[in-house]
Amino acid sequence: MKMTITRHLPYSCRDQVVLGFGRGYKQLGIPPRLISLSKVNNLPADISSGIYYDWASIGSRDGQKMVVSIGWNPYYENTKKSMESHTMHTFKEHFYGEILRVAIVGYLRPEKNFDSLESLISAIQDNFFQVSKSKIMNDH
């Protein structure tokens, strides 16, 4: 199964940061950077939904380690597949319309539902910090 998940990795794309569902920063306290639906629809057909680790840069800023979610976000019961890159770095401004460059380099876990918003936030933070430099260097 892992072969199916990772055979397209590393995978990179670039697109403008688009306005999302309006809940990321307000509810999660972790601002997602959403990729447009057209790019999501152009992902390889057999790339699994789930949580991946990636390097991403916004505009002319340096690249940062991030976590990217590809799928339907079961906690929110999305009806459209999305791709959201989350950073733990706090920026003072939003980046709507700026170019986001994403390089997905590894798979963390499948998508799953959560019992509460707090457990979802905790999982996002745990996934981010579980991606060590050595893991990224050893895997890709």
Distance between alpha carbon 124 and the CA centroid of its chain, in Å?
10
Does 93 qualify as catalytic in the annotation?
A: no
| Per-residue pLDDT, 8 | 79
What's the CATH code of the domain at 129? 2.40.30.30
| Per-residue pLDDT, 5 | 59
Residue 107 lies in a domain: yes
- Whole-prediction pTM: 0.76
Residue 72 lies in a domain: yes
Distance between alpha carbon 38 and the CA centroid of its chain, in Å?
16
Residue 55 lies in a domain: yes
Residue 3 lies in a domain: no
Residue 98 lies in a domain: yes
Residue 50 lies in a domain: yes
Q: Which domain holds residue 51?
A: 11-137
Q: pLDDT, tens digit, for every residue of 3-53? A: 445 677 888 988 888 777 766 667 776 666 667 767 788 888 778 889 888
Number of structural domains the chain divides into: 1
Checking DSSP bridges between strand 99-109 and strand 11-16, what pairing results, if any? antiparallel
Q: pLDDT, tens digit, for every residue of 92-137? A: 666 778 888 889 998 888 888 999 988 888 877 775 555 544 344 3
Out of 84, 93, 98, 118, the active site residue is 84
